Amino acid sequence: MARNLVLCLDGTAGQVRGDADSNCVRLYDLLDLTDETAQIAYYDPGVGTFASPGAWTPVARGLSRLGGLIYGAGMRQNLGEAYAWLMQNWRPGDRIFVFGFSRGAFTARALAGMLRLIGLMRPGSENQLQYAVAKYARRGGEGRIPWDEIHRFSRLFAQQVDGRSTIPIEYLGLWDTVKALGVVRVAPDWPYTRQLPNAQHIRHAISIDERRRPFREYEVRTKAPETLEEAWFAGIHSDVGGTFADDPKLSTIALKWVLEGALDHGLRVDAKRTARAFEGFSPAHAAGAAHRNSAVWSLLVPRRRPIPPGVRVHASVRDRMSATDYRPRLPADATWVDDDWATLRPS
């Protein structure tokens, strides 16, 4: 029996917080995991959450976590751990769902890229994993891929399906991808994180109002536009991806949109928990609190995100503009999407 394999990759210093959970945690909590023959799941808390395994002293653990927060140290490790989970669990016919927020969204895209470039190594090849991640996560993007070396490696170690090593992703759900590897803006150029050619269906929610310079938008530029639904949402980074405990209305809108796309393609959720999660959901959510970045960030040359022509904007933004004095700089040819966003669908 084919299964759903679900990975939820959280943002920087993400973890289960209770009243300030990210959308990755909230979605993971909705999953129906009662039947392991139908669906299993994996959650990663993101870079800068915990110290590296080799950090034994309090000072070393603190520096390790700080390295994750500032420089994004640990992203390769998180990528490798998610990939290893797939190695251990994937069988031909299984469907892969990957969700990510912030740097976790970039890790999700990198996982897709690694499955495109190298494929999925067979169980028993774990000792090659560090090498595989190093071969994938290198500078230069698609323009500097050592194809002969990659093809030989994949032929030796990757699983083959119909003579191909590339593994498709059924659904990729993303909240405001951040490409930079830390507060210090070091932006990797890992292969296929922009095009995502092996993702069959993609929904990407992008923040309109984020101002932190290192948190630049990272749009998808696929050659197969029919696979992509990318929409801009009101609020800053965590208004889209979650973690604001005082008023999560805006992030709940983005959660619902990404979740519904996954439900359309076979994700299994617990109906009772899902009903509770969206209890009270209404058009009034569009006027929920929009938060601000901390005062420290205002001293670091804020950057307004440019919204390019022809983009899709979530219809909740239009409703927010009608209900409040919110006036984002939208292009004249923007398209409104998800007009019935406030309607709850049966899960």
**Residue 346 pLDDT grade (very low, low, confident, very high; cuts 50, 70, 90):** confident
Domain presence at residue 286: yes
Q: Rounded to an integer, what distance in angstroms lies between the CA atom of residue 242 and that of residue 261?
A: 18
pLDDT digits (tens, 9 = 90+) for 181-225: 655 555 578 999 999 999 999 999 999 999 998 899 999 999 999
Domain presence at residue 342: no
Global confidence as pTM? 0.91
Domain presence at residue 171: yes
The total number of structural domains in the chain stands at: 1
**Residue 36 pLDDT grade (very low, low, confident, very high; cuts 50, 70, 90):** very high
Query: What is the dihedral angle through the alpha carbons of 125, 126, 131, 132, rounded to the nearest 10 degrees?
Result: 70
Domain presence at residue 209: yes
CATH code, domain with 194 = 3.40.50
Domain presence at residue 147: yes
Task: Provide mean pLDDT across the span 269-281.
Answer: 97
Domain presence at residue 345: no
282 near 306, Cβ under 8 Å?
no
The torsion region of residue 230 among left (phi > 0), alpha (psi -120 to 50) and beta comes to beta
What is the residue whose two structure tokens read 């990272």?
218
195 near 221, Cβ under 8 Å?
yes
Identify the pLDDT of residue 63.
Answer: 46
Domain presence at residue 61: yes
pLDDT digits (tens, 9 = 90+) for 80-89: 999 999 999 9
Amino acid at 284: A
Domain presence at residue 347: no
**Domain of residue 139, residue span:** 4-337
**Structure tokens belonging to residue 137:** 């996560």
Identify the pLDDT of residue 74.
Answer: 78
Q: Rounded to an integer, what distance in angstroms lies between the CA atom of residue 51 and that of residue 177?
A: 23
